[in-house]
Amino acid sequence: MFTGELAESRQTEVVIRDIDERAMELLIDFAYTSQITVEEGNVQTLLPAACLLQLAEIQEACCEFLKRQLDPSNCLGIRAFADTHSCRELLRIADKFTQHNFQEVMESEEFMLLPANQLIDIISSDELNVRSEEQVFNAVMAWVKYSIQERRPQLPQVLQHVRLPLLSPKFLVGTVGSDPLIKSDEECRDLVDEAKNYLLLPQERPLMQGPRTRPRKPIRCGEVLFAAHLIITWNCEKHIKKL
């Protein structure tokens, strides 16, 4: 900006937009001292600023800090934040954490506030860690009913990523098929009928294979334990600082 042919190189005063004032101050200090403290109160302003100014070291430090903060109550927010700022490794870790801890994540406020496309990204994963497909269906219905007027039209789009053929016949007929939201939508009823055919006609199943009939395979524990270890380490560090 200042040494090339850009207009800023000939100006005595340059206005830099879209960067938090405090974050800019910390980054300038870092340029002179090679030291910076990344903490809960500044990480969300530091990371965008570091991305804009192409300070790779700070980006990495912010992402490493956020990995240590991963929790079922905030992993979706961190996941979205990483996606917005193209932090691929952080996005991957947050994604894995979300999938492994889906049973806790689905009960969080962040889950209820997800846009439909992000919900679909999560529930369509083969690596979703659930005891049964019933949990996925219940999570989807809870999400729809959280803002029913707005989300009711999106139900068919979301429901097609629930693997209804993997449900028990009792749950499919007694719970899914009898739900008023399902019964009132033709596309949803078609998905239920597809699942019923799959369960009632075992001899035809080889011809009915697809994404909705594929069993889920939860992710390996190793990477999730890595994230959990980071959380424990950070908590210990905070405790030591307090002491």
Mean pLDDT (the chain) is: 88
Distances (CA, A) of 22 to 10, 28, 36, 37, 182: 26, 10, 12, 12, 51
Average pLDDT in the 4-22 region? 87
pLDDT over 70 percentage in the chain: 90
CA pair distance 6, 84, nearest whole angstrom: 27
Q: Enter the tokens of residue 25.
A: 């101050």
* pLDDT over 80 at 235, yes or no: no
- The domain segmentation of the chain, as residue ranges, is 114-220
Tell which wins on pLDDT, 29 or 17: 29
Average pLDDT in the 222-233 region? 38
Closest CA to 159 of 184, 92, 20: 184
- Assigned CATH class of 114-220: mainly alpha
In this prediction, residue 229 carries a pLDDT of: 36
Closest CA to 102 of 25, 229, 235, 216: 216
Residues 6+ apart with CB under 8 A from 181: 141, 144, 145, 152, 155, 188
Are 208 and 197 spatial neighbours (Cβ–Cβ below 8 Å)?
yes
* 150-200 confidence digits (pLDDT tens): 999 999 999 999 999 999 999 999 999 999 999 999 999 999 999 999 998
Tell which wins on pLDDT, 243 or 17: 17
* pLDDT over 50 at 230, yes or no: no
Average pLDDT in the 41-60 region? 92
Q: How many Cβ atoms from other residues are within 10 Å of residue 161's Cβ?
A: 17
Q: Enter the tokens of residue 169.
A: 């016949």
CA pair distance 234, 241, nearest whole angstrom: 11
* pLDDT over 80 at 4, yes or no: yes
CA pair distance 93, 74, nearest whole angstrom: 13
Rg, the chain, Cα only: 23
Q: How confident is the model at residue 14 (pLDDT cuts 50, 70, 90)?
A: confident
In this prediction, residue 102 carries a pLDDT of: 96
In this prediction, residue 238 carries a pLDDT of: 36
Average pLDDT in the 143-150 region? 96
* 77-104 confidence digits (pLDDT tens): 999 999 999 899 999 999 999 999 999 9
* pTM of model > 0.85: no
Residues 6+ apart with CB under 8 A from 114: 76, 122, 143
